[in-house]
Each structure stands twice: as structure tokens, then as C-alpha cells.
Structure 1
Amino acid sequence: MKKIMFVCLGNICRSPMAEYLCRAEAEKRGLAMEITSAGTSGWHDGEYMHCGTADVLDGLGIDSRDFVSKRVKSSDWEEFDYLIVMDDNNLCDMETRFSKNKKLFKITDLLPENSRYDHVPDPWYTGNFKETHDILQQCCEILVTRLQRGEM
């Protein structure tokens, strides 16, 4: 069973959305995976996700009431098969903390080369939770497909 951690800055918008979207996609396909999320900053440790993220998930019928924000721990590097970040800043923070490695990459690296997205914009700043959902849904579908086919 693959173990995946999604990582963003505060662990209240993008990474929890990716966590629950990916979990729902894996469950839909009957693929056993352990999926979680964390933030690089720890600013929101112990908090629930942003209401915009919760609203998106609620609208999709995805129960996220068990979510609690947390910070990336040193042990996560060994514990998880993949640490998947949302943008270049997250990638830099994680590479500085751990190292460059194929288990660490940006989620948008999964998108086709002609995609207009090279990162997941942070809806904390943009206010556009729909855009975040649309990008993450596509990325999670690709991720689960590649894992299901044994391509990762």
C-alpha cells in the first residue's frame, strides 16, 4: 500500500483538499492507499481546514470532519512513499529540510506538458477555491491512475 503526504504552506487549503480528493478517488477505484497532508509552516497546527476548502469538499459529498492541520515532521521522509507539494516554495522548503529525491515533487508535474499550471495557486490569497479544486482533481485522477497501473 502506497503512503502519500500532500504538502502546502499552512495545511488548511490546498494540501487538505488534495488529501480528501485523492482519498475519494482511490476509494472509488478500490485502491488501498494511506493519504494525509501537512504544512511546511505549522502556522495552523491543530486547526480545521479553511472554510472554502471545507465548502468544496462538502459540495462533493466528501466528509472532512476528521481533519486536523499539522506540520511536516522529520519522520515523514522515511514514513511516506511520496511527499507531493503544491508550489515551488513548498518544494524548496522540503528540499532544504530533506533532500532532492524522486519521492518529492510538485503535484502539477503530473499534468500534461501543455498545461497552463506549473503550481497550484493558493486560494488563501486568490480566493478561487474552484480553480484549486479543478487543478487538484485532475492531478489526483492522474496520480491514482499511475499508481493503479504501477507506473510510480
Structure 2
Amino acid sequence: MRILMVCLGNICRSPLAEGIMKSKVAQNGLNWTVDSAGTGGWHSGELPDPRSRSTARQHGIDISDQRARQFRPQDFDDFDRIFVMDSQNFRDVIRQARNESDSLKVSLMLEESHPGENRSVPDPYYDDDGFEQVYQMLDDACHAFVERNIRV
């Protein structure tokens, strides 16, 4: 399975989601590919936000090798599932879908842990205290996705 995590700038939420999912994939001995991207390209080439790196590190996950990049239509070909963090990310990614098959790959990340509730992962960029909450939300969602898919 090939999974892409997408947020706005690819420096806060999606790098955490990528790191968490990679950790769970490794713990379960799965041969999955996990990457992340942002709908905007302002931070392309940059490291994840220091607060995301610190939060991940506190949970034993190193995301310091990640670099921000912008989502591109080619990602629909390169990934089986595209998880977005909020409804604006969803709209921005769906707008680039070339067909229904592309669109069906895209869903909100928290649909995995809270199906049908249309929940978003809040952007912690302007709230230093929000990173741990975001980590826990993403950890729950990634856990639910892996558990559901290792049984398939």
C-alpha cells in the first residue's frame, strides 16, 4: 500500500502523520510506502516545523529527514490512499483529481478513527500547545487504519 498524508504547508500535521504511520507500518512489519505533501508550496524543501519534530521525538519518532513538498496530480498515480487533514485540504486535492478514480483515493484522516463525523485535524501552527493534541488525533487515526488493513 502507498499512502500520502496531505496538509496545507507540509510542515506541521502531515509530517507528523507520515512519521506516525511509518512507525506503525514498521511495528507491524508491513511493506507500505508513506509520504507527505502540502497543498501549498510555500515551504518546499524545508524541514518540518521544530514543534512537530519535537513532538514526534517525544514519542520516539524521528521526522528530521523529511522535507516539505507540494502536492501534484502525479500523486494520484503514485499513491493508493491520500489522507487529508481538513476540509480545505480535501477541496484543494479533489480540485486536482482527473477522474473519479483519483477522487476515491482521497479522504479525511480522522475518518479512520471517527467514521462519518467529518472531523478535521486542527492546524497547530499558531498554537504551541496544539501539537500534542494533533499527535494524539493522528496516532489514533493511523492506528485504526493499520489495524483495519492488516486484517485484509
Q: TM-score, normalised by structure 1?
A: 0.91
Specify the alignment match of 1:82 in structure 2. Answer: 81
- The runs of 4+ residues in structure 1 deviating greater than 6 Å are none
- Describe the SS at the equivalent of 2:95: helix
1:112-132 residue CA offsets vs partner (Å, 9 max, x unmatched): 3597x7100000033310110
**Gapped runs of 5+ residues in structure 2?**
none
Determine the C-alpha separation between the residues in 2 that align with 1:3 and 1:43. 25
Shift of 1:111: 1.8
Give the root-mean-square deviation of aligned CA atoms: 1.6
Query: Which amino acid counterpart does residue 89 of structure 1 have in structure 2?
Result: Q
Determine the C-alpha separation between the residues in 2 that align with 1:123 and 1:8. 11
Query: Which amino acid counterpart does residue 137 of structure 1 have in structure 2?
Result: D
Contact 2:5 2:82 (C-alpha < 8 Å) held by counterparts:
yes
Specify the alignment match of 1:106 in structure 2. Answer: 108
The size of the alignment, in residue pairs, is 148
Shift of 1:102: 2.3
Determine the C-alpha separation between the residues in 2 that align with 1:112 and 1:53. 23
Specify the alignment match of 2:127 in structure 1. Answer: 126
Kindly report which structure 2 residues correspond to 1:1-152, keeping only aligned pairs within 5 A, or say none: 2-98=1-97, 101-113=103-115, 118-127=119-128, 128-150=130-152
**Gapped runs of 5+ residues in structure 1?**
none
Q: TM-score, normalised by structure 2?
A: 0.91
Percent pairwise identity: 32
